[in-house]
Amino acid sequence: MYKLFFRLVFRRMDPERAHHAAFRWIRLAARVPVLRTLAAAALAPRHKELRTEALGLRMHGPFGLAAGFDKNAVAIDGMAMLGFDHVEIGTVTGEPQPGNPKRRLFRLVADRALINRMGFNNEGSAAVAARLAARRPVFRTTVGVNIGKTKAVPEAEAVADYVKSTERLAAHADYLVVNVSSPNTPGLRDLQATESLRPLLTAVREAADRTVTVRRVPLLVKIAPDLADEDVDAVADLAVELGLDGVIATNTTIAREGLGLRSAPGLVAETGGLSGAPLKERSLEVLSRLYARVGDRITLVGVGGVENAEDAWQRILAGATLVQGYSAFVYEGPFYARAVHRGLAARLAASPYATLAEAVGAETRKKADR
């Protein structure tokens, strides 16, 4: 049904317009009590065995919405209604900014992929913090807040920009993510080098602790799939050394591997970050590498090309406690999160593991023993 609707309606629309149209419908539905209750009853995770403890938080299930879909925190309940058990809002930057000129989002339907060069279009940390402060949640959802650098801020002042966002947003975040991996802000990914990352993460940690004294806000870093393997190891070691709570692997890629024959060359040549199916293999590889390095010392979040329950299960076996998706939601529609959670429950039941927690990293551990 959704696939037909997608073919007949969304596919003919500009992708960014389609996104806003779908978003409006989701927000509208979430405002109607009967509708949202019915939708959530049908779509939200209800399997006891999927209950997950991660980052010191209790969740109904491990699957959530990746950053970038709800940049300004306007549809958290709407996304929860659709069965995403955690919603990562943002990327929010210190100051508001319009992002890159349009067109900046492209659908590669035949490859089940997207290319985007949105460039952190968002209302900025002050406006988003005010919205989160005024929010009266309908559903009990975990809210992650993903922060990034304002484009106009010089790289030498990046830390201060992240600190500003942290001071404004940490109190409203169940967890906080330092995004240093989007390819569409010049220089951003250079912050992944440990000499830049160490002072940045230390400053954000201190700012979060200064601002929120009643609890410790979990802090994660989100990395790119384009890092060389040694750099993945270096980030993993740094995360452990700094007592970080988690690593999110991965953001979109600037590579174009696994693409090209099915989608029009003009589309493939668009600059920006590639997401969806072609990202699957590398994201999984980075995740397994991280788990092999850090084990259970920090929480890993697997994202990139997760299209269905099998993909999510593979991420869990590779080492992810939490799993996220974005691009496949565009192609699969409103039943995406439910399908992932249901399929995970079935896979767990058919597996030798008694709990999801037991399954986390099982495959990577097995490989290490071989």
Ligand X SMILES: Cc1cc2nc3c(=O)[nH]c(=O)nc-3n(C[C@H](O)[C@H](O)[C@H](O)COP(=O)(O)O)c2cc1C
Q: Provide the binding-site residues for ligand X, judged by CB under 6 A.
A: 66-68, 71, 90-91, 105, 114, 116, 118, 120, 146, 179, 182, 222, 251-252, 275-276, 279, 303-306, 325-328
Given 181, 182, 275, 283, which residue is catalytic? 182
Shortest CB 50 distance to ligand X, Å: 19
Give the DSSP letter of residue 114: E
| Alpha carbon separation from 192 to 2, 29, 145, 153, 320 (Å, rounded) | 39, 39, 19, 17, 21
Smaller CB separation from ligand X, 40 or 108? 108
For residue 300, which of 64, 54, 50, 53 has the smallest C-alpha distance?
A: 54
Shortest CB 206 distance to ligand X, Å: 22
CB distance 106 to 117 below 8 Å: no
What the block records as the tokens of 1 is: 């049904």
E-strand spans in the chain? Answer: 52-54, 57-59, 63-65, 86-93, 105-108, 113-116, 142-148, 175-179, 219-223, 246-249, 273-276, 299-303, 322-325
Shortest CB 127 distance to ligand X, Å: 16
Smaller CB separation from ligand X, 36 or 232? 232
Smaller CB separation from ligand X, 36 or 191? 191
End-to-end Cα spacing for the chain: 45
| Alpha carbon separation from 114 to 275, 304, 330 (Å, rounded) | 5, 11, 9
| Paired strand residues for 68 | none
Shortest CB 317 distance to ligand X, Å: 18
CB distance 105 to 267 below 8 Å: no
Smaller CB separation from ligand X, 52 or 100? 100
Report d(CA 324, CA 84) in Å as an integer: 9
Smaller CB separation from ligand X, 150 or 182? 182
Shortest CB 335 distance to ligand X, Å: 16
Residue 263 is among the residues annotated as catalytic for this protein: no
Quickly count: other Cβ atoms within 10 Å of residue 152's Cβ. Answer: 11
Smaller CB separation from ligand X, 81 or 303? 303
Pairing of strands 113-116, 105-108: antiparallel
| Alpha carbon separation from 198 to 194, 237, 287, 322 (Å, rounded) | 6, 11, 21, 24
Output the residue with the shortest Cβ distance to ligand X: 68
Shortest CB 357 distance to ligand X, Å: 23
Smaller CB separation from ligand X, 291 or 336? 336
Report d(CA 190, CA 208) in Å as an integer: 23
Shortest CB 112 distance to ligand X, Å: 9
Residues forming the active site: 182
